[in-house]
């Protein structure tokens, strides 16, 4: 049986494949430390879990989700953006709940691209952006994210010929995989550029609440003109420790929101009602747990950054996300081959930067999803490996 030829245009996600390999290694008795998976070892606050449990136990909570009004959740999403970013969004026309932001990341390409249309995609980037464009039949124009530019795109360096043809541009700050952050001036410049060339801006902002050292990330939508030319994705996954809940959101331009609503009317039947109830309570509830959580990530970040520097690897201290983006040791020319060799010899797995694009070559990404002691053990193993 032949599958669609479009499946030949992109690779399967390496992280999923590696998790199978790592599981087999553990079954063989190897003490594997997985620094690749961006799935934190944290859980939602107890109050959030109790709301979800109570809603699940309600016998009237198990109809098709469309049986219930989504108004409370829509208003909660709009409310958190108003309080956190000073952004006013109409809950009915400028807000859309998603089954995890990943659902939106994929469908946005179907919403905006016709076959042959150009999408401007950062390199390196989260691989789903690339797969989504190719599945929609679009063409990718890579936009390099270089260290000398703070891993920000040089917008005005994009050829006007390409910019005039592009339908959309991806922006992701705080960034995965580089952990870079964007300034207010960058967003203002982005909006000016996007208006000049009539390019839709798609901002992916799931790490907005994972930040350190007094830094607070902005939202693309908080800047004048943003809703005229783009939207933003966000999620409860990282901010509220709810990766498994699959609760995401999309806010901004009402025409794009309307298009996505039309797609979702066929793609799914809405969010499980108890999750709507729990997500609403989380968004409307206290966020004091975030400070302690972020302090934990900061301590983990410091353990990894200090460990890498002791090894002699070049790394910057990130202000946000739970990732560390580091250069590979001097002399290494193939990050994937090196990471696989590290895994084979010392049972430590890190994501090779080449997985995120050509400009990711020469780097690795480490996820801070283990306690400090475990991360320090990984750094000790890595130091011995490099020195050997």
Residues 6+ apart with CB under 8 A from 360: 123, 124, 177, 335, 352, 353, 354
> Into how many domains does the chain fold?
2
User: Which CATH number characterizes residue 262's domain?
Assistant: 3.40.640.10
* pLDDT one-digit tens code per residue, 258-280: 999 999 999 898 999 999 999 99
- Residues 128, 158: one domain? yes
Residue 364 pLDDT level (bands cut at 50, 70, 90): very high
Q: How far is CA 47 from the centre of its chain?
A: 25
Residue 333 pLDDT level (bands cut at 50, 70, 90): very high
To 10 degrees, what angle do helices 101-112 and 254-267 make?
110
State residue 232's pLDDT score: 98
- Residues 278, 296: one domain? no
- Residues 102, 160: one domain? yes
- Residues 112, 225: one domain? yes
| Mean pLDDT on 352-372 | 96
State residue 10's pLDDT score: 78
| Mean pLDDT on 349-369 | 96
**In DSSP terms, which residues pair with 231 in a beta bridge?**
202, 252
- Residues 354, 272: one domain? no
Choose among 307, 371, 353: nearest CA to 40: 371
State residue 388's pLDDT score: 83
> Is residue 27 included in any domain, yes or no?
yes
- Residues 114, 170: one domain? yes
Choose among 255, 240, 230, 183: nearest CA to 206: 240
* pLDDT one-digit tens code per residue, 140-196: 999 999 999 999 999 999 999 999 999 999 999 999 999 999 999 999 999 999 999
- Residues 35, 82: one domain? no
Q: Which of 284, 315, 330 is the last residue of a domain?
A: 284
118-123, strands of its sheet edge to edge = 95-98, 248-252, 230-235, 200-204, 166-171, 118-123, 139-144
Residue 82 pLDDT level (bands cut at 50, 70, 90): very high
User: Which CATH number characterizes residue 299's domain?
Assistant: 3.90.1150.10
Q: Which of 250, 284, 318 is the last residue of a domain?
A: 284
> Is residue 75 included in any domain, yes or no?
yes
Three-state secondary-structure class, residue 303: helix
Is the pLDDT at 64 greater than 90? The verdict is: no
Q: Is the peptide bond before 384 cis (omega within 30 degrees of 0)?
A: no
- With a pLDDT cut of 90, the percent of the chain lying above it is 88
Mean pLDDT of the chain: 95
Q: How far is CA 260 from the centre of its chain?
A: 19
- Residues 315, 249: one domain? no
Q: Are 335 and 327 in contact (CB under 8 A)?
A: no
> Is residue 66 included in any domain, yes or no?
yes
- With a pLDDT cut of 70, the percent of the chain lying above it is 100
* pLDDT one-digit tens code per residue, 31-40: 999 999 888 8
- Residues 34, 142: one domain? no
Q: Phi-psi category of 336—alpha, beta or left, where left has phi over 0 and alpha has psi -120 to 50? A: alpha
Is the pLDDT at 212 greater than 80? The verdict is: yes
Instruction: Provide the domain limits for residue 231.
Output: 62-284
Residues 6+ apart with CB under 8 A from 332: 338, 362
| Mean pLDDT on 15-20 | 79
- Residues 174, 256: one domain? yes
Six token digits for residue 60: 């009237």
Residue 288 to residue 117: CA distance in whole angstroms: 44
Q: Phi-psi category of 214—alpha, beta or left, where left has phi over 0 and alpha has psi -120 to 50? A: left
Q: Which of 284, 316, 337 is the last residue of a domain?
A: 284
Q: Are 248 and 84 in contact (CB under 8 A)?
A: no
> Is residue 273 included in any domain, yes or no?
yes
Match 């996007």 to its residue by tokens. Answer: 194
State residue 294's pLDDT score: 97
- Residues 169, 300: one domain? no
- Residues 248, 164: one domain? yes
> Is residue 49 included in any domain, yes or no?
no
State residue 41's pLDDT score: 87
> Is residue 51 included in any domain, yes or no?
no
């Amino acid at each position: 049986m032949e599958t669609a030829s479009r499946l030949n245009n992109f690779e399967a996600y390496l992280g999923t494949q590696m998790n199978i390999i790592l599981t087999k290694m553990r079954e063989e008795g190897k003490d594997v430390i997985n620094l690749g998976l961006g799935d934190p070892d944290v859980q939602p606050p107890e109050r959030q879990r109790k709301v979800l449990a109570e809603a699940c136990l309600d016998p009237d909570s198990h109809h098709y989700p469309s049986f219930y009004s989504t108004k409370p959740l829509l208003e909660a999403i709009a409310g958190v953006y108003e309080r956190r970013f000073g952004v006013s969004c109409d809950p009915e026309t400028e807000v859309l709940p998603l089954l995890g932001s990943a659902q939106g990341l994929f469908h946005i390409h179907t919403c905006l691209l016709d076959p042959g249309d150009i999408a401007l995609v950062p390199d390196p980037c989260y691989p789903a952006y690339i797969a989504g464009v190719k599945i929609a039949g679009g063409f990718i124009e890579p936009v390099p994210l270089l260290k000398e530019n703070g891993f920000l795109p040089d917008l005005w360096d994009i050829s006007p010929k390409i910019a005039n043809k592009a339908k959309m541009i991806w922006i992701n700050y705080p960034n995965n995989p580089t952990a870079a952050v964007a300034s207010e001036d960058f967003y203002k410049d982005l909006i000016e550029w996007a208006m000049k060339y009539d390019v839709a801006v798609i901002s992916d902002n799931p790490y907005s609440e994972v930040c350190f050292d007094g830094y607070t990330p902005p939202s693309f939508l908080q800047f004048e003109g943003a809703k005229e030319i783009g939207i933003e994705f966000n999620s409860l996954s990282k901010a509220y420790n709810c990766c498994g809940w699959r609760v995401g959101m999309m806010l901004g331009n009402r025409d794009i929101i309307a298009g996505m609503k039309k797609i979702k009317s066929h793609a799914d039947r809405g969010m499980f009602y108890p999750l709507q109830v729990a997500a609403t309570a989380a968004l409307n509830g206290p966020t004091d747990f975030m400070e302690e959580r972020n302090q934990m990530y900061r301590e983990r970040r410091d353990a990894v950054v200090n460990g890498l520097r002791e090894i002699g690897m070049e790394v910057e201290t990130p202000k946000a996300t739970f990732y560390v983006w580091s250069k590979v040791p001097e002399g290494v020319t193939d990050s994937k081959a090196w990471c696989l060799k590290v895994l084979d010899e010392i049972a430590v797995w890190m994501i090779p930067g080449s997985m995120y694009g050509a400009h990711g070559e020469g780097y690795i990404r480490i996820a801070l999803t283990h306690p400090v002691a475990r991360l320090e053990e990984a750094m000790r193993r890595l130091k011995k490996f490099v020195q050997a």
